[in-house]
Amino acid sequence: MKTTLHTLQQMAAKGDRIATLTCYDASFAALLETAGVDILLVGDSLGMTLQGSETTLGVTLDHMVYHTRCVASGARKAFIIADLPFGSYQESSQQALRSATQLMAAGAHMVKLEGGQPMAETVAFLTARGIPVCGHIGLTPQSVHQLGGYRVQGRGDAAAERLLQDTRALQQAGAGLLVLEAMPSTVGKEISTKTAIPTIGIGAGPDCAGQVLVLHDILGIYPGKTPKFAKNFMPGAGSIQAAVQTFVQEVKSGAFPAPEHCF
């Protein structure tokens, strides 16, 4: 049976954790969903993992459309989220609609965009037109230069309160899922318990409705520095399939993330 946004919302309501990995091609799409991954995120992290850049800023809408089409060709069951890349949605809601339309036509079931309150109007515009939207707050990699690097966000009461305000704004705008990246576990928990939106954490602690990691990090094949919240599942696994299955099992059981992966 196909995984839909409704399925994911029901899973979150029941406390069944959602296992998510980034995915950029058809072969991995088939392998990951066979291993039990619920959501395939066609992330603009492909700027780093596939293109060798230091940031996601050079990824274009054409790149994202291409990889979304590849993933959609290999997937039969998993829910597919595609990232709106830098510069493809910030100008206006109309620009976001044009870009999101291309990703949905390529096979995405939902688009993801970065930012909180300032993006709420765009999220409302897209969802009102039948395009499901996943928000992304905390460490938003497209703002790396404004943030002064890949730093943990939401430290201190004022910063944590801003993230809660972002969450409220995105919920009111109709966001269907919310990625929480690199924030103290206490903040990830507070957001996850206070919002009706299922949260997918990456470095946001164990209390999110699901967890996401970058595929290349769980396979230990990213040549650059990997973040504290990532875990290489390959040692001792014997195969890629087995490593992915262990990732899924650890997310579902709550064994991942362990304290050493949290802030």
Closest CA to 205 of 159, 162, 257, 141: 257
Binding mask 86-125 for ligand KIV (x = CB under 6 A): ----------------------------------------
CB of 236 to ligand KIV, least distance (A): 25
Window of 26-34, 38-46, 68-76, 84-92 that interacts with ligand KIV by CB under 6 A = 38-46
The residue count for the chain: 263
Q: Can residue 22 be called a binding residue for ligand KIV (CB under 6 A)?
A: yes
Binding mask 160-189 for ligand KIV (x = CB under 6 A): -------------------x-x--------
Q: Can residue 18 be called a binding residue for ligand KIV (CB under 6 A)?
A: no
CB of 1 to ligand KIV, least distance (A): 25
Tell me how far CA of residue 25 lies from CA of 92, 95, 165, in angstroms: 30, 26, 36
What is the DSSP code string of 216-239? Answer: HHHTT---SPPPTT-----TTT-S
Q: Which residues contact 133 (CB under 8 A, 6 or more apart)?
A: 100, 110, 111, 112, 113, 123, 126, 127, 173, 174, 175, 176
- Note if 181 is an active site residue: yes
By C-beta, is 52 or 238 nearer to ligand KIV?
52
Q: CA torsion sign, 4 to 177 to 123 to 72?
A: negative
Residue nearest to ligand KIV (CB): 43
Read off the tokens for 259: 């304290």
Where along the sequence are the contacts to ligand KIV (CB under 6 A)?
22, 41, 43-45, 83, 179, 181, 202, 212, 214
Q: Which residues are catalytic?
A: 181
